[in-house]
């Protein structure tokens, strides 16, 4: 069984969340905002409002303001699951976006988006500019998720939709991101804000950005394999199975087994989960039964509800 992530000192987790937030903030604030390519979610919605305001409202501040009601909604519906780490995640990332863009009072001289390399990429290699932004967002979010943080936004919406309506988190996030990207593209088109490129082309860049960053998030969290099979042997299988079914929204199979050493008959739970769920489910198992025996294997193909088919 992998080392319980809760055994790390919390300060290390928060330090990693802050580093991940800074990396993500550079990707958004420095590489994407002025390129008019939105990353989806609350960040993309804030960028759309920023464009409507005539570039007068700081992006990071807008993201923070939009996240507050979602954060409070998440606390009400989901409890401590979206607690301090979530607040730190979206607050720090919002701060860094404004910091790197020079929108924090006293730091107006920073403005990394106006540096010569960024200007050169914007003019001569727009695709590479967007690709770097996508990579930075993917790495930053991957680090944040790896250390049990979130940046609120569509993560909270997805969790609530799963709890209330049984909608898969991936479907909720995808729908939300596509909706925000479409709105931003419409605003860019009607306001004629495109930097020398049609709004439809910028929308396609945004979809490309979404694909690259989401793939990188998975790689950062657990490597290149996209799912894990878990074999769980415990004296508290009923509690663990309820967590898997109700809290994780995953299925599980109970297999009758017999321990050779003690000649003891018991059930073994078998389940398949996504990479983002590994840390969470391991922590839950440790809380229910610290002595549980857990085997986790790589899964290269999953056919069925709740998982994408690998091509």
Specify the CATH number of the domain 227-299: 3.30.70.120
Question: Mean pLDDT over residues 274-286, rounded?
Answer: 83
Question: Which residue's entry shows tokens 């193909």?
Answer: 301
DSSP-based helix, strand, coil % in the chain, nearest 5: 65, 10, 25
- Distance separating alpha carbons of residues 302 and 308, to the nearest angstrom: 7
Confidence of residue 264 (pLDDT cuts 50, 70, 90): confident
pLDDT digits (tens, 9 = 90+) for 15-71: 999 999 999 999 999 999 999 999 888 999 999 999 988 888 899 999 999 999 988
Average pLDDT of the chain is 84
Residue 310 pLDDT > 50: no
Determine the straight-line distance between the first and last CA of the chain, rounded to whole angstroms: 30
CB atoms within 10 A of CB 208: 15
Q: What's the pLDDT score for residue 5?
A: 45
Q: In the chain, what is the greatest distance between 2 CA atoms, to the nearest angstrom? A: 74
CB 222 within 8 A of CB 278: yes
CB 40 within 8 A of CB 210: yes
CB 193 within 8 A of CB 53: no
Look up the pTM and report it: 0.71
CB 26 within 8 A of CB 93: no
More confident residue, 210 or 261: 210
- Distance separating alpha carbons of residues 13 and 200, to the nearest angstrom: 40
DSSP codes, 234-284: -TTHHHHHHIIIIIS----EEEEEEETTTTEEEEEEEEEEEHHHHHHHHHH
Q: What residue spans define the domains of the chain?
A: 5-222, 227-299
Instruction: Enumerate long-range contacts of 75-84, CB under 8 Å, 24 or more apart.
Output: 77/159, 77/160, 77/163, 77/164, 78/156, 78/159, 78/160, 78/163, 81/159, 82/150, 82/152, 82/155, 82/156, 82/159
pLDDT digits (tens, 9 = 90+) for 201-240: 998 999 999 888 877 876 776 555 567 899 999 989 999 9
Question: Mean pLDDT over residues 132-137, rounded?
Answer: 94
Per mean pLDDT, which range of 191-200, 259-268, 295-304 is the poorest?
Answer: 295-304
More confident residue, 55 or 8: 55
Question: Which residue's entry shows tokens 């990579």?
Answer: 135
Q: Which residues contact 214 (CB under 8 A, 6 or more apart)?
A: 138
């Amino acid at each position: 069984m992998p080392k319980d992530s809760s055994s790390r000192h919390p300060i290390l987790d928060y330090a990693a969340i802050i580093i991940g937030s800074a990396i993500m903030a550079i990707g958004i604030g420095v590489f994407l905002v002025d390129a008019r390519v939105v990353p989806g979610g609350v960040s993309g919605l804030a960028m759309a409002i920023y464009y409507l305001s005539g570039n007068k409202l700081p992006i990071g501040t807008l993201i923070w303001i939009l996240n507050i009601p979602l954060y409070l909604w998440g606390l009400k519906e989901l409890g401590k699951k979206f607690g301090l780490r979530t607040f730190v995640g979206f607050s720090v990332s919002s701060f860094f976006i404004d910091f790197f863009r020079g929108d924090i009072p006293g730091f107006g001289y920073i403005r990394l988006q106006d540096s010569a390399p960024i200007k050169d990429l914007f003019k001569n290699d727009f695709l590479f500019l967007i690709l770097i932004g996508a990579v930075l967002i993917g790495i930053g979010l991957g680090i944040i998720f790896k250390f049990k943080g979130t940046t609120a936004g569509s993560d909270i919406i997805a969790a609530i939709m799963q709890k209330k309506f049984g909608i898969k988190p991936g479907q909720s996030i995808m729908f939300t991101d596509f909706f925000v990207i479409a709105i931003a593209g419409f605003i860019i088109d009607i306001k004629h804000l495109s930097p020398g490129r049609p709004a439809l082309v910028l929308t396609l860049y945004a979809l490309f950005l979404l694909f690259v960053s989401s793939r990188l998030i998975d790689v950062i969290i657990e490597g290149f394999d996209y799912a894990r099979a878990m074999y769980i042997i415990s004296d508290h299988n009923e509690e663990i199975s309820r967590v898997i079914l109700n809290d994780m929204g995953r299925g599980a199979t109970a297999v009758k087994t017999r321990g050779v050493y003690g000649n003891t008959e018991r059930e073994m739970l078998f389940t398949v989960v996504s990479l983002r769920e590994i840390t969470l489910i391991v922590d839950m198992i440790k809380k229910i039964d610290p002595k549980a025996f857990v085997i986790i294997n790589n899964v290269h193909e999953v056919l069925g509800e709740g998982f994408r088919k690998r091509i």
